[in-house]
Structure 1
């Protein structure tokens, strides 16, 4: 029997036990098949083991212990082999039923349980009902089964997953950046979705530039371009409004009041006027227009933040925001390089572009050909933490409103427990990589749409590049080995170049 693993000995509800066949290896997280009658197939996943023997009773164990010396060593190995000889010991695997397929090949949630002593076998290419559900148009890895990796691609469908938001969680070194690069590469190859990435640490440009489709589908914008292949990131004064400024620092109530009054009085010219005129003149102008006198310290704080933004982003009269938004809605990847920008400028720019994109997607006049767009936010707790979420910033609005406009967030973080519960509850697709903290794992177990309680041991022992994928339209949380970006580019897109050749090519492939 091909892939034979054992025989079922007990089943109750979705719980299954089976005896592992002699000389067969079954591991934590193995996905196996129980052969039913009339072509039915039950798909199960192992999560625990026990060993039973006719010597397992306490009296029998005591008898065997008498065969050892005072140091616990065997006195007569031949005699001990006589008592332990024969097939008296069995390994019992405990598993949960994931789903089952009927004779017609339709996949269903668990509705019944398999019969006693049914055959247990490994997954094969014939299990098309299960495997077809795991495929998607945004590929990121191969299906894992225990310690093995099957040659079965796993992906998500962007039309379903992107508008319903994605969460990527893992500790440092677990493979988050590689996963984002693989997702971006898959999107680059299809041109079916837009992707906005804020490259804070300059780690995406060099790798994504290796993609064979980078010249057509990758747009790079930088505050200080280093080559002719990078576009100048031009932000106009008129693009900046008070919400972008408040993302940079904490303001008191009087300061917030003054900030919004400035915008109301001077409209699109409020920022250049704020930078151009002296504080006493600004205070007098506001007092004349609103009848409200603001202190110099209040206005000085606002002017200081505005000056920092002007220095960081090089604000001018021209703007490339419309170009960025157009490229995203055309199904391109827009990479915003922020390597020379401080956290103040990064937060302001992230807020500004995300807000403009939300407004564009919510516009009733948008084209029917516009693609779904996803925004990647790293260290997301800075924007969507418990305190930040209550401020109703643009990212909080994106989480609750954006799905209606084919716009989604990809939230990347090392510590999901720091995010607001309302944010986690809105993430319908989770990529769970290695998490060292038990509180982080517990938080995701609570918020995940799929039951992953039985995968605790598996999640706790994930290696770098391994993850659990849980999404709404899959019937169970799937273990996946994420592609290495270099291997994925070669095998998926046939980029038959060495690593050194790809790096050398990088500056020349970006339009």
Structure 2
């Protein structure tokens, strides 16, 4: 909505800032309303049909036809696919620029099946919004199986959900499980050959050929020692230079890495359950460990859902799963180890009930093919021109006018568009029920506290001089 005044005050009326222009107009007996006429440019989104949704009008409105501000109930009926607090609803905030609170509700089924992205600059409130989304998914009217990949340890406060009455029902109490570094394990035998190859740096062609031969000869569950023994056997001599170099890399980059284990493994049935959020804190893992973990975990979840849907043998998950991926640009760029499985899930996951929410502060680093598969978008303040251009080219439902709004958004404001809502809208994010774990540090206060502590220590340790 753009507003331009049709009549401006003459320059003479503005020559003395201490005198209000209205006082001059009154003194000259000029009607104030003449300066309150505006030309307003709006976009006609069409008329709403319950079956067809918004239909583009073939005939424009008549000149002079009256325009009315839509009432809250009308907006709810026309713009939102779901009613607040009803099964399959996600209440994420309120319409911006409305005097009364008009709730903005997304359709849970469309968010999960068609995927979601949250894009914003640092400090715009994307993690806060993701917390709101997690709260809604764990409400009794959703009871989601939720998995959160948390590289910065910001989502542990969701544990507070277990003690809040807003999330409880007679037959339902949500559960939030926080996985620390010691609990995050990948069994070595679960790694595919390419994932194993990515863990071992600077392999020669001979090393790759030897590793491939040893890996293909192993069956079922195996340990790192089994792999080493198979390499020696494939080489034919334990003193073989290629074998020794490969074994050294296995001991250095596999046996010495905590996240990869010979026996321990995270069971999917414990990791993903309806009414449960599992938060994997990845902050203590290296970049390589994080990428391998995301790749292996997403592939296992997708395969388990395929097995369940098609009645195949193997690991199964009998219900849909929604996965929140923070810092998504680290996992969804073309050179990331997890790129292929993420691309597969985003293109085919909806058929098997695997949904993904990508959260990033650098959308320009996310592959455009992946970003374009997120059919619901929540975009907050973005100033970087490269990021804006990537959004413009990848997100069809965001027009040029809305892209121009991005730099002017303030913290907690967002554009919501896509299949989960009938028309793009500007919103302010609702307040969280749990506390936010990603609050910026108050550096000045912490410095002052430490300074006062140091002063006390100095005074206590200071020796008296002989003349005192």
Normalized against structure 2, the TM-score is what?
0.76
1:472 is displaced (CA, Å) by 2.1
1:316 is displaced (CA, Å) by 4.5
Distance 1:68 1:306, change over 3 A: closer
Is 1:236–2:184 an aligned residue pair? no
State the partner residue of 2:216.
264
Distance 1:401 1:157, change over 3 A: same
State the partner residue of 1:417.
364
State the partner residue of 1:286.
234
Distance 1:79 1:335, change over 3 A: closer
**Matches of 1:155 and 1:488, distance apart in 2:** 22
1:138 is displaced (CA, Å) by 4.0
1:346 is displaced (CA, Å) by 2.3
1:428 is displaced (CA, Å) by 0.7
Per-residue Cα deviation, 1:309-354 (whole angstroms, up to 9, x for no partner): 3xx22625243324335x33x4532222334433333222222211
Equivalent of 1:395, from 342, 345, 348? 342
1:170 is displaced (CA, Å) by 0.6
1:373 is displaced (CA, Å) by 1.3
State the partner residue of 2:444.
none
State the partner residue of 1:357.
301
Is 1:324–2:270 an aligned residue pair? yes
State the partner residue of 1:446.
393
State the partner residue of 2:6.
52
1:269 is displaced (CA, Å) by 5.1
Distance 1:49 1:125, change over 3 A: closer
State the partner residue of 1:313.
259
**Matches of 1:68 and 1:156, distance apart in 2:** 48
After superposition, residues 29-108 of structure 1 pair within 5 angstroms as: 46=1, 48-53=2-7, 78=24, 82=28, 85-89=31-35, 90-101=37-48, 107-108=53-54
State the partner residue of 1:160.
110
Over 6 Å off, 4+ runs: 66-69, 71-74, 366-369
- The 3-state SS of whatever aligns with 1:119 is coil
Per-residue Cα deviation, 1:364-411 (whole angstroms, up to 9, x for no partner): 22799933212111221222113338x863222222222221112211
Equivalent of 1:189, from 139, 145, 151? 139
Q: Unaligned stretches of 5+ in structure 1?
A: 1-45, 226-231, 490-511
Per-residue Cα deviation, 1:217-245 (whole angstroms, up to 9, x for no partner): 335253456xxxxxx44543433343444
Distance 1:66 1:356, change over 3 A: closer
The structure whose residues are more often strand, as a share, is 1
Equivalent of 1:300, from 248, 251, 259? 248
Is 1:174–2:121 an aligned residue pair? no
1:86 is displaced (CA, Å) by 4.6
Distance 1:97 1:447, change over 3 A: same
Verify the 8 A CA contact 1:164 1:429 in the aligned structure 2: yes
1:88 is displaced (CA, Å) by 3.0
Distance 1:140 1:473, change over 3 A: closer
**Matches of 2:200 and 2:108, distance apart in 1:** 35
1:356 is displaced (CA, Å) by 0.8
**Matches of 1:304 and 1:266, distance apart in 2:** 21
Distance 1:138 1:264, change over 3 A: farther
1:298 is displaced (CA, Å) by 4.4
State the partner residue of 1:498.
none
1:149 is displaced (CA, Å) by 6.2
State the partner residue of 2:278.
334
1:120 is displaced (CA, Å) by 2.7
State the partner residue of 2:177.
220
- The 3-state SS of whatever aligns with 2:433 is helix
Verify the 8 A CA contact 1:448 1:470 in the aligned structure 2: no
State the partner residue of 2:441.
none
1:442 is displaced (CA, Å) by 2.4
Is 1:273–2:228 an aligned residue pair? no
**Matches of 2:213 and 2:256, distance apart in 1:** 20
Normalized against structure 1, the TM-score is what?
0.70
**Matches of 1:66 and 1:162, distance apart in 2:** 60
**Matches of 1:307 and 1:488, distance apart in 2:** 39
Is 1:199–2:156 an aligned residue pair? no
Q: Unaligned stretches of 5+ in structure 2?
A: 437-468
Distance 1:350 1:256, change over 3 A: farther
Distance 1:368 1:351, change over 3 A: closer
Is 1:463–2:415 an aligned residue pair? no
